[in-house]
Structure 1
Amino acid sequence: MSLNYDTLKSVFFKFDPETVHKIAEITMIGANCVFPGSLSFLANKCVINDARLQQNLLGSIYNNPIGIGGGFDKNATMFAALTALGFGYLEFGTFTPKAQPGNQKPRLFRLVEEESIQNAMGFNNDGSQKIKQRVEKLYPNVVPLWANIGKNKITPNEKAIEDYEVLVKDFSEICDAFVVNISSPNTPNLRDLQESEFITELFSKIKPLTKKPIILKISPDLSHEKAIKLSQSAVANGADGIIVSNTSIDYSLSNSPKLQNFGGLSGKVITQKSREIFKAVADELYGKTVLIACGGIDNAQEAYDRIKMGASLIQIFTSFIFKGPMICRDINEGVLKLLEADGYANISEAIGVDIRK
C-alpha cells in the first residue's frame, strides 16, 4: 500500500496542491457510488477496533485518539470516507456564518523536502447554512464530529463574538464538540483576539448557548507564558479542552526554496515548536482540562510521546497528505505496540505519565 501511495503521490505532486485536494474530495464523495462497497473495504483495512485505545471523553466515546484536524474537510463533504479511513473523530471547518472565497490563489504550497505545507487559505467555505444542511443529514456519525468555527473576514473584531454566537446556536444539536478558531494566521487581525479579556467575554456568551463541549485552539507562535495564561483563562471561563496548536508563521523553521512570506506552516517543520509549547501548556493544565496535541505528528512514537506529555487526543493533517491513507491505522497500531511495551492496559494509563512521574 505504501508503494502504491508513493507512486500516486509522485503523480499528484506534479499538480497544484489545491487542485489535488479537490480531486481527493470528489473521489471521497463519489467512491461508494462508483464502487459500491469500497468504503467497507477501506474500513476493513484501516479501522482499528481495540478496547485499549477507547476513551470516554467530552461526552462521547473515542475508539481511538487520532482525529483529522480542521481545514481538511472544510465543508463537511467527506465524513463517510474519513470515517472509513479509521479516524477516531473528525473536525470539519473552519467555517463561517457567511460563505466566503478565502484569499487569492495560489494559497497552498508544498514544502516537499520538509514534508510540510504552507497555507494561506483564509477560511474559504460554503457558509454555515449549506454546511448545516449537509451535517443535519449525517449526524450523529459513527465517530464524533467537531465543528471548527471562525469569524467572517468582513466581520470587525469588535463584532467577532456575534459570529461565534450564531454558529454555536446553529450547530449545537448537530455536532459533538465545538472548536473555536482564533489562531489562524490567514484572516487579518484574527490572532489579535488571543487575549484573556476576549476569551473571557467570548466564553461567557457562547457557553450558555450549548451543552456541547467547547475547545479553544491556540497558536504555536505565542510565548509559552502567554499560551499558558490564555489557556488558563479559557478553562476558567468554561473551555472543555485546548488544542495545541494551529499553524505557525515562524518562517525561520523552514529552509525550503518554496517558502513564501505569508501563510501558516504545518507538518514536520513545526514538530519541535508544537511539541515544546504543548509541553509548556500541559505542565500547567494537565488534569484540569482535555488536552489535544496537533502539529507535526506523523508517526506513532511522536503521537505516543505527546500522549505521555498529557494529550488525550491527537490531530493530524499534513502527515495525511505525505504519508497517505493508511497513516491512521499505522499510528494506532504503533501506539498499541508502545502501550504494550510499557505494560499499559489502556491508553488512559499512559496519558500524562511524564507529568505524573
Structure 2
Amino acid sequence: MTAFERTVRPVLFRLGGGDAEKAHEFTLGRLSRLGERTRSLLTSRYATDAPVEVFGVRFPNAVGLAAGMDKNGVALRAWPALGFGFVEVGTVTAHAQPGNDKPRLFRLRDSEAIINRMGFNNAGAAALAARLEALGPVGVPLGVSLGKSKVTPLEEAVEDYLTSYRLLHKYADYIAVNVSSPNTPGLRTLQDKSAIAGLLAALVGKVPVLVKIAPDLAEPAIAELLEVCLSHGAAGVIATNTTLARDGLAATDQARAAEAGGLSGGPLTEKARKVVHFVHTETDGRLPIIGVGGIMCADDATRLLDAGASLVQLYSGFIYHGPALVRGAARAAARQAGPQHADARDGRAR
C-alpha cells in the first residue's frame, strides 16, 4: 500500500461526509495552489521521461490525465508534476452550464469504481480560453475535450462544437470530440455514421481531432464509426468513455449501482481492452488509440498498450491509487516501448 493509499485517500474519502464531488473540488483547489518548489519536489518523485510521438505530437510519456478530472483547467500546473505526460481538460461546452442536480458523483469502493452523472458542468469554452491564454504553455501536451451544450438542439450540434473549437483550438495539441457521454440527452446519437461525418467535416483541419467512443457500442456500429473517422481525417480514437452497464461490481456495491450515470473504474478494465483491440484490428493500426477505462495498476496499462493503444489515460485509477499509479504505468509503458526506455526512472530516461 502506497503512502497515498494509507494517508491521503482516507482523508479525501471522508471529506464532506463522504461526498465525492466535495472531495474532488477540494483536491483541485489544493492542487491549483501548489507552489513551484512543491511542484519541483513532486516532479523529482513521479515524473518519467519516456518520450513517444503520436499523431505528430511528442509526449514526455504515454500516460495522460483523462477528461473530467480538471474540466476548467484550474490545476494545470500540477498534473505534470504528478507524472502525467499529457493532460486533457474538459469536457467543455460552448455555453457555460451547471450540469445535473447534485449528488451526481458516487464512489463504489469495493469495486474501485465511480458512477457520475455530472452532465458536462463547466464554465464554458470562452472562460477556458481566457484561462489558457493567461496561463501560457503547460509543459506537456494539452488535449481539449469538446461536448455539446445541453441547451443546443441536436440538429445544431455541429455549430455548437464549432463555436468551442474556434475559441480553443489554438491552445490545444489535440481536440477530443466527446459524443459518447451518457449524461447529456441524445448525445450518443452523434456517434451515428452521418452525424460524426458532419462533425469531422467541420472540425478536422488545424489540430489533430480524435473521437471518443462509448464502450457500449456494438462492434458493427464501432466499425461504421471507424470508417467515417478514416475517411474524414480523424487523427485517432479515444476508447473508451464510461459505461451504462453494471457488470462486475462487488456485492457490497450493488445498491449504489442503481444510481444513474456512467460507470468507470475496475469493472471497465476488460471491456475497454476489448474495444481497443477491436479498433486496432479493424483499422489495421491506421488510427492511433488513446486507451482509457479501468486502468487500476501498471499491468492494466500494459494490457491496453498490448491491445493496440498508443497512449493511455487515467481517471478512476488515479482517484483510488494516486500518483504512484501514474509513475508505475509510465514506467511500464516505457519498458514495453523498447530498450531505449527500459531504465526509465523519476524525471528522466537512462
TM-score by length of 2: 0.92
Deviation digits for residues 111-136 of structure 1 (CA, Å, limit 9, x no counterpart): 00000100000000011111111111
Give the drift of 1:227.
1.2
C-alpha contact (below 8 Å) 2:273/2:307 kept by paired residues: no
Supply the distance in 1 between the matched residues of 2:211 and 2:77 (Cα, whole angstroms).
26
Give the drift of 1:65.
0.4
SS of alignment partner, residue 66 of structure 2: strand
Q: Which runs of 4+ in 1 moved over 6 A?
A: none
In structure 1, what is the equivalent of residue 54 of structure 2? Answer: 57
Supply the distance in 2 between the matched residues of 1:265 and 1:170 (Cα, whole angstroms).
30
Give the drift of 1:7.
2.2
Supply the distance in 2 between the matched residues of 1:42 and 1:81 (Cα, whole angstroms).
9
Give the drift of 1:58.
2.4
2:91 to 75, 91, 94: 94
1:222 to 208, 217, 221: 217
C-alpha contact (below 8 Å) 2:4/2:321 kept by paired residues: no
1:264 to 262, 266, 274: 262
In the alignment, structure 1 residue 206 sits paired with structure 2 residue 200 = no
In structure 1, what is the equivalent of residue 228 of structure 2? Answer: 233
In structure 1, what is the equivalent of residue 345 of structure 2? Answer: none
What is the total number of aligned residue pairs between the two structures?
335
Give the drift of 1:9.
1.3
C-alpha contact (below 8 Å) 2:5/2:320 kept by paired residues: no
Deviation digits for residues 254-298 of structure 1 (CA, Å, limit 9, x no counterpart): 341321341000000111111112211111124312111110012
Give the drift of 1:40.
0.6
Identify which range, 256-265 or 234-243, moves more after superposition.
256-265
Counterpart mapping for 1:1-357 below 5 A: 2-14=2-14, 15-32=18-35, 37-49=37-49, 53-207=50-204, 210-255=205-250, 256=253, 257-338=255-336, 344-345=338-339
Supply the distance in 1 between the matched residues of 2:168 and 2:181 (Cα, whole angstroms).
21
Supply the distance in 2 between the matched residues of 1:225 and 1:301 (Cα, whole angstroms).
29
C-alpha contact (below 8 Å) 2:64/2:84 kept by paired residues: yes
Supply the distance in 2 between the matched residues of 1:346 and 1:223 (Cα, whole angstroms).
39
Supply the distance in 2 between the matched residues of 1:100 and 1:122 (Cα, whole angstroms).
9
Relative to structure 1, is the Cα distance of residues 338 and 180 closer, same or farther in structure 2, using a 3 angstrom cutoff? closer
C-alpha contact (below 8 Å) 1:152/1:163 kept by paired residues: yes
C-alpha contact (below 8 Å) 1:140/1:175 kept by paired residues: no
Supply the distance in 1 between the matched residues of 2:227 and 2:266 (Cα, whole angstroms).
28
Supply the distance in 1 between the matched residues of 2:336 and 2:170 (Cα, whole angstroms).
37
Supply the distance in 2 between the matched residues of 1:89 and 1:25 (Cα, whole angstroms).
17
Deviation digits for residues 210-267 of structure 1 (CA, Å, limit 9, x no counterpart): 4100000000000122112212212211110001100000123434132134100000
Identity %: 36
Supply the distance in 2 between the matched residues of 1:6 and 1:178 (Cα, whole angstroms).
37
Supply the distance in 2 between the matched residues of 1:238 and 1:115 (Cα, whole angstroms).
36
* More RCO (CA 8 Å, sep 6+): 2
Give the drift of 1:338.
5.0
The one-letter code sitting in structure 2 at the alignment partner of 1:2 is: T
The one-letter code sitting in structure 2 at the alignment partner of 1:42 is: L
Supply the distance in 2 between the matched residues of 1:110 and 1:313 (Cα, whole angstroms).
26
Give the drift of 1:154.
0.8
The one-letter code sitting in structure 2 at the alignment partner of 1:221 is: D
Supply the distance in 2 between the matched residues of 1:335 and 1:200 (Cα, whole angstroms).
33
SS of alignment partner, residue 70 of structure 1: coil
Supply the distance in 1 between the matched residues of 2:156 and 2:332 (Cα, whole angstroms).
45
Give the drift of 1:346.
5.0
Give the drift of 1:4.
4.4
Supply the distance in 1 between the matched residues of 2:145 and 2:311 (Cα, whole angstroms).
16
Give the drift of 1:5.
3.5
- The two structures, once aligned, show a CA RMSD in angstroms of 1.6
Q: Flag structure 1 segments of 5+ consecutive residues without an equivalent.
A: 348-357
The one-letter code sitting in structure 2 at the alignment partner of 1:11 is: V
C-alpha contact (below 8 Å) 2:295/2:314 kept by paired residues: yes
The one-letter code sitting in structure 1 at the alignment partner of 2:308 is: G
Identify which range, 289-298 or 250-259, moves more after superposition.
250-259
The one-letter code sitting in structure 2 at the alignment partner of 1:241 is: G
SS of alignment partner, residue 293 of structure 1: strand
TM-score by length of 1: 0.90
